[in-house]
A and B are shown apart, each in its own frame.
Chain A
């Protein structure tokens, strides 16, 4: 079965299922993964920081609260905290006008914020495919630990 994760959404996955988010742009798809139990989860975050925004009830929307909530969810599903590793993808800059504008650099800031949160939580980041200027569809396979990244006009990348 393929478990779907939408924009500002998260889900957990294990066994022979896979977990997918389609059409990632400036958002980041962060996977937490226990290589032994195979329990995994993915969060699709849109914005770097929940504390600077008043409408912050949806935890999956933000890098800081999203990664923390995903950690709780995978542990509740049987992952072991000390074995968890992370893989991330996304954070593209889709348009190049006004590159100084913080809203357009949000991809880069999302990637930084996810990394910062992972390091705070002491989760090792083992692979990433981030930045650049194109959209990505990302699918994670818990059985093999492979994170598949597809983009228009590009070959499948596995990290």
Chain B
């Protein structure tokens, strides 16, 4: 635990996340395209280190209604992942996946479909991390929350809050007919940061 405050490892970790974002988003785009059976484009994902007070703004305000999918990470590293999109975007994805059988709101079927989408997307990122580090990493079953952005984000923010006053997120923009702004927040447990950096040869 010597130098493992978030400030000390952040610079290197941001580089790792940027690379992870690129590969992960590439994988996710391919997977989404086959799931939705349509062409899907992707912009270069951005890694952002934000102060807590600025987190709401990037998502369109603390009260913006969003769908968040929360998964635990197990295996050689532990932690959690939150995948977050605006509610209307989530509904668009779900409706497309369900090929017209969606009800237009988030019922049980739609929630289940969105869990599948979030499994695919988070799986794509975790696979990228797994390949980069040669570690065995797998997600737990996701749980959804449909609520205000601030409320959903409080969960990873609190986890980051243990280490500092910032939150690290990957913003990936994918588009099919509409722009899909997806936010991906990975919070490894503190010991896992070290393991990731070690596996990548960034620390000895």
Which of these, B141, B142, B148, B161, contacts A135 with CB under 8 Å?
B148
Whether the pair B53, A103 counts as a contact (CB closer than 8 A) is no
Q: What is the count of residue pairs linking A and B with beta-carbon distances less than 8 angstroms?
A: 111
Whether the pair A54, B53 counts as a contact (CB closer than 8 A) is no
> Does A159 touch B at the CB level, under 8 Å?
no
Which residues between 1 and 22 of chain A lie within 8 Å of chain B, taking CB atoms? 6-9, 22
Contact flags A131-159 to B (C-beta < 8 A → 1, else 0): 00111110000000000000010000000
> Does B123 touch A at the CB level, under 8 Å?
no
> Does A58 touch B at the CB level, under 8 Å?
yes
Whether the pair B62, A97 counts as a contact (CB closer than 8 A) is no
Q: Which residue of A lies closest to B69 (CB)?
A: A95
User: Would you give the shortest CB distance from A118 to chain B, in whole angstroms?
Assistant: 21
> Does B104 touch A at the CB level, under 8 Å?
no
Residues of A within 8 A of B62 (CB): 22-23, 137
User: Would you give the shortest CB distance from B122 to chain A, in whole angstroms?
Assistant: 13
Which of these, A97, A104, A152, contacts B65 with CB under 8 Å?
A152
> Does A51 touch B at the CB level, under 8 Å?
no
The size class of the interface chain B forms with chain A is 35 or more
Interface SS majority for chain A: loop
Known: A7-B53, A46-B154, A46-B157. 18 other contacts (CB 8 A): A7-B52, A23-B148, A23-B150, A23-B151, A23-B153, A24-B150, A46-B161, A47-B162, A95-B143, A97-B71, A97-B72, A97-B140, A134-B147, A134-B151, A135-B148, A135-B151, A137-B148, A152-B147
Interface of B with A (CB < 8 Å)? Answer: 5-6, 52-53, 55-56, 61-63, 65, 68, 70-72, 80, 140-143, 145-155, 157-159, 161-165
Interface of A with B (CB < 8 Å)? Answer: 6-9, 22-27, 46-47, 53-55, 58, 61, 92, 94-98, 101, 103-104, 106, 133-137, 152
